[in-house]
Chain A
């Protein structure tokens, strides 16, 4: 009989004790959250891309509301419209966001690039790269297994028939997920400005680069010598465009001078981007 009473006392006691403690703790440690955070989060595009530097849209909304140091224009995919709304809600000064879009620095498609080997394994760029740097003759080029396509939170990338990813510039928000993902470091974010860009990343010497891929930059320096703005330099057998110097150029002679067409015009891409901005 005594034991039965103890059982009831202990169980009821333990249950009540923890129940009360938890109830009290819930009151005492209640977190009040700012309703503004939810409002700001509603405006953000919810791609959870992390281009703002925070772990997802909710975190950025929290930071931009709570921390006066966090700028309202960090959401790259949201572009100017979202930045303006966030600034209005948080009472911060809106500064323009510069639109970006992703851009592939390789034109080594299936016809141009020479295959040195055949790869049969996990269809994943990072995995392919572990096997002797990939099947292509050029060890700098696009591996073509579409890690960037998988990484894109907005569905702006697709795998083209020529074995290279295609950026739909009207959908691309410039969040930069693909830039982080590409194991070859071939994706770059471009802004308006420079009308041309080098579409090759090969540091191979001229003959070797040409042998591996018809579209490769062979580091001949013709573009460098013909550039009226002095914006192109050849470093380590690869031409590099200084976009700041290149920006004002209206007649890019480099386009016609490049023997392998490794320098491409960005004018069309800019136009597409301007429509959506």
Chain B
């Protein structure tokens, strides 16, 4: 149990994908302008990542490893996550329109997101069990949601700040992300 908790906390805070490993930065800057959108994005990433991790784990341990072609992992996972997101979009559009309205627009952005690819890759690289993979994926997803929600709340406040002209917009957002990352580095070595 303690092992899973460590893995989970580690993925959420200490090894936060966005703020300590600098993955998924494109959506992190793209969506973090409004708080509600960023929470929607965080949720979408978490669920997609969990499901694609399960799928990737099965493909790796039942197809790639027995055949001895593990060097194909990256390319297979790219195809896998991208098509999975497409499939998910089609299904929820039809089956759960309410859910689609909530995070349908973010789904296609996730298709090419590096976090969604990185988590299944790290899972198999560390030879995690299926349960561990799921815990790690949920943790990483929530870590991403936390980071993007924090950033969005900061950027919403930033509207009222007197930012020097050359730094307005994405410039100050980069500086802000750097400071946020520094703050998160304070967690390193905790576990």
- Interface flag for B183 (CB, 8 Å): no
Count chain B CB atoms within 10 A of each CB in A7, A11, A25 and give the residue with the most: A25
Residue of chain A at shortest CB distance from B66:
A6
Give, as a whole number of angstroms, the nearest-CB distance from B180 to chain A: 23
Residue in contact with A18 in the complex, picked from B67, B72, B80, B93, CB distance below 8 Å? B80
Interface flag for A1 (CB, 8 Å): no
- Indicate if B186 sits at the interface (CB-CB under 8 A): no
Contact B83 A31 (CB under 8 A): no
Mark out the residues of chain B between 94 and 129 whose CB falls within 8 Å of any chain A CB in the assembled complex: 94-95
Q: Is B58 in contact with chain A by the CB < 8 A criterion? A: no
Q: How far is the CA of A19 from the CA of B87 in the complex (A)?
A: 10
Do A11 and B87 have beta carbons less than 8 Å apart?
A: no
Write the A155-190 contact mask toward B (1 if CB under 8 angstroms, else 0).
000000000000000000000000000000000000
CA–CA, A165 and B10, complex, Å: 54
A213 to B159, CA, bound (A): 30
Q: Give bound CA distance, A19 to B79, whole Å.
A: 10
Interface residues of A in 2-51 (CB under 8 A from B): 3, 6-7, 9-11, 14-15, 18-19, 21-22, 25-26, 29, 31
Tell me whether A3 and B83 are in contact (CB under 8 A): no
- Residue among B79, B90, B93 facing the most chain A CB atoms (10 A cut-off): B90
Range of interface residues on B (Cβ < 8 Å): 20 to 34
CB pair B83 A18 closer than 8 Å? yes
- B90 near A122: Cβ-Cβ < 8 Å: no
Interface bits B67-89 vs A (CB < 8 Å: 1, else 0): 11100100110011001001100
Given A21-B83, A121-B162, A122-B162, also A6-B91 (CB < 8 A): no
Q: Does B175 sit at the interface, judged by CB under 8 A? A: no
Which of A10, A19, A130 neighbours the largest number of chain B CB atoms within 10 Å of its CB?
A10
Of B68, B75, B83, B86, which one neighbours A11 at CB under 8 angstroms? B75
Cβ-defined contact, B69 with A6, below 8 A = yes
B83 touches A10 (CB 8 A): no
- Our count of residue pairs bridging A and B at CB distance below 8 angstroms stands at 54
CB distance from B19 to the nearest CB of A (A): 28
Asked if A271 is at the interface of the complex by the 8 Å CB criterion, the answer is no
Q: Closest approach, in angstroms, between the C-beta of A193 and any C-beta of chain B? A: 38
- Per-position binary interface string of chain B over residues 36-74, scored 1 when its CB falls under 8 Å from any chain A CB and 0 otherwise: 000000000000000000000001000110011100100
Distance of A18 Cα from B55 Cα, bound (Å): 12
B114 to chain A, nearest CB (A): 20
CB-based contact A22/B86 at 8 Å = yes
Query: Which chain A residue shows the least CB distance to B91?
Result: A29
CB–CB A10/B68 < 8 A:
no
Q: Give Cα distance in the complex from A124 to B162, angstroms.
A: 11
Flag if B83 contacts A130 (CB, 8 Å): no
Question: A126 contacts which chain B residues (CB < 8 A)?
Answer: 160
Q: How far is the CB of A82 from chain B (nearest CB, A)?
A: 25
Q: Are A10 and B76 in contact (CB under 8 A)?
A: yes
Q: Is residue A127 contacting chain B, with contact meaning CB distance below 8 A?
A: yes
Q: How far is the CB of A12 from chain B (nearest CB, A)?
A: 11
Q: How far, in whole Å, are A233 and B131 apart by their CA atoms in the complex?
A: 69
Q: A29 to chain B: which residues have CB within 8 Å? A: 90-91, 93-95
Q: Which residues from chain A contact B69 at a C-beta distance below 8 Å?
A: 3, 6-7, 10
Do the beta carbons of B90 and A25 come within 8 Å of each other?
A: yes
Residues of A with C-beta under 8 A to B83: 18-19, 21-22
Give every chain A residue within 8 A of B76 (Cβ-Cβ).
10-11, 14
